[in-house]
Structure 1
Amino acid sequence: MTINKKFILGLSLSLAVYSMNSANAQDFRFTQKNPDKPEATEFWDPEVRVVTPGAVPSDAIVLFDGKNLDSWESAKDGSAAKWDVKDGIFTVAKGAGTISTKKHFGDCQLHIEWRSPIEPETLKGQQKGNSGVFFAGIYEVQVLNSYQNRTYRNGQAGSIYKQTPPLVNATSKMGDWNIYDIIYTAPRFTANGGIETPAYVTVIHNGVIVQNHTKIQGATNYIGQPTNPVHEKGPISLQDHGNLVSFRNIWIREM
């Protein structure tokens, strides 16, 4: 067997494995090598699942309904979440600690709205409106008042914290609401603990793409390089960083 043939065979096998692992792989398995009729490349079954769109899609899990934090718990010890709920929003309660969803998620689409508090101009950088949205409890999309508030690029709102800066700064002014729509793809690990495919995230901030299918290097550590512990599904966590950041309208779709 020549090198060229080996290369072609290897490429064919790789494509076959990719197709078999794809959620829609069956759509690409043609029964004819060179189909000459249009219906040979049309797929009717199974029918595409219907989701009714709207402010909250029909298949979404509502994580905050404006009334209580029953879907959340303390990230530290699993006790009841103690953040303050009032008028359809909830706010970090200083000293209450980070909270996490009771349910764990893998690949998902998350919608979350957040608001920085009105804070003194003497506060700067990471001191202002600091919180974070974590996937699997270890990958942080930064929440920060980045409106006319300079800080390190990979620590401002919309960044993959300490890794990848946002493409642009789309932050609303202090006291106004910000909207994150985040598509998260969980990492896959090999049997021996290696990374088969890394985690990826797309972040749309106030209607503007600020992370475009960005590779997550690993856990977003405050100090040191990213680490890659093997894990399964994990919670969505919201950080208590000592600032009175508020949240509302949180829902998630599993993919």
Structure 2
Amino acid sequence: MRLALDGSATTRFQKPPLNPVFTFIVGATVLFNGANTEKFSGGKLASDGALLAGVLTTMPVHDFHMHLEFRTPYMPLARGQGRGNSGVYIQQRYEVQILDSFGLAGANNECGGLYQQTAPDVNMCLPPLAWQTYDIWFTAARFAADGKTKVASARITVLHNGVPIHSQREITAKTGGGKAEGPKDFPINLQDHGNPVTFRNIWLVNGEGHHMVAEIAPLPCPALRRAGWRHRFRYWSAGQ
């Protein structure tokens, strides 16, 4: 697939939006720009200045848009889940898988999958050692006043290298070994699975105004339209 091979659909180096379209405009929090790791618990840097996997954000998350860039290592002798394995564990409950899945079918335990729950709509994984992007829009599950009864499941939209792989997807339960669902918010875990996966250019905007993509110029219009997205006033939207 040409988009995956040459990176033409990438959102690499994208900066936080100055005027994000959210219900609550609170601005972007830069979590990591290469300067320090103070926004992460247990943060350590690789020799090239990238952030190593195995960290938690110092703040819990609820509804947000997050941008991050990741790189999987070259592990030619490894196979399956032992090949560039990491993940973005939202609220330590819901994992968007990171894996060297270049050229694979795109299963629910491969790169871009909601781990062991939902496969990505398309496998947009680049080869190992290439920097890749996730743009994630997340709305937390809602619970009744008793704190036990779930009244609405969490929802997620994910762009992988600029292409929608989940559009307002319902997350029906926690994934894998994640924490049990509940009303309490928890941090994001950039999972350490024993492989040297690294991260850079991580920022987050809080707020629920769900699934608006603000001025991402390189996005492939046909791919977005096929996924049911609409364009209006310079914005792509998967919402109503």
What TM-score bracket applies, with the shorter chain setting the length? 0.7 to 0.9
CA RMSD of aligned residues (A): 1.8
Match of 1:108 among 64, 75, 96: 64
Q: How many residues align?
A: 185
Q: Deviations over 1:187-242 (max 9, x none)?
A: 110123111111000000011100111111111125xxx98531322211100000
4+ aligned runs moved over 2 Å, structure 1: 82-88, 226-229
What are the ranges of 5 or more consecutive residues in structure 2 without an aligned counterpart?
1-13, 19-26, 208-240
The answer to whether the Cα contact below 8 Å between 1:124 and 1:149 also exists between their aligned partners in 2 is: no
Distance between the aligned counterparts of 2:131 and 2:91, measured in 1?
25
Q: Which residue of 2 aligns with 1:132?
A: 87
Which secondary structure does the structure 2 equivalent of 1:156 belong to? coil
Flag the structure with larger Rg: 1
Distance between the aligned counterparts of 1:227 and 1:60, measured in 2?
26
The answer to whether the Cα contact below 8 Å between 1:129 and 1:245 also exists between their aligned partners in 2 is: yes
- Structure-1-length-normalised TM-score: 0.68
| Residue 153 (structure 1) aligned with residue 107 (structure 2) | yes
Q: CA 1:166–1:115 in structure 2 vs 1: closer, same or farther (change >3 Å)?
A: same
TM superposition shift of 1:148: 2.6
Paired AA for residue 203 in structure 1: V
**Relative contact order (C-alpha < 8 Å, sep 6+): which is higher?**
2
TM superposition shift of 1:129: 0.6
- Structure-2-length-normalised TM-score: 0.72
Distance between the aligned counterparts of 1:174 and 1:199, measured in 2?
30
What are the ranges of 5 or more consecutive residues in structure 1 without an aligned counterpart?
1-53, 74-80, 93-97
| Residue 117 (structure 1) aligned with residue 117 (structure 2) | no
Which secondary structure does the structure 1 equivalent of 2:113 belong to? coil
Distance between the aligned counterparts of 2:130 and 2:179, measured in 1?
35
Paired AA for residue 56 in structure 1: P
| Residue 215 (structure 1) aligned with residue 167 (structure 2) | no
TM superposition shift of 1:86: 4.0
Q: CA 1:85–1:231 in structure 2 vs 1: closer, same or farther (change >3 Å)?
A: farther
Greater helix content? 1
Q: Which residue of 2 aligns with 1:72?
A: 40
The answer to whether the Cα contact below 8 Å between 1:201 and 1:214 also exists between their aligned partners in 2 is: yes
Paired AA for residue 55 in structure 1: K
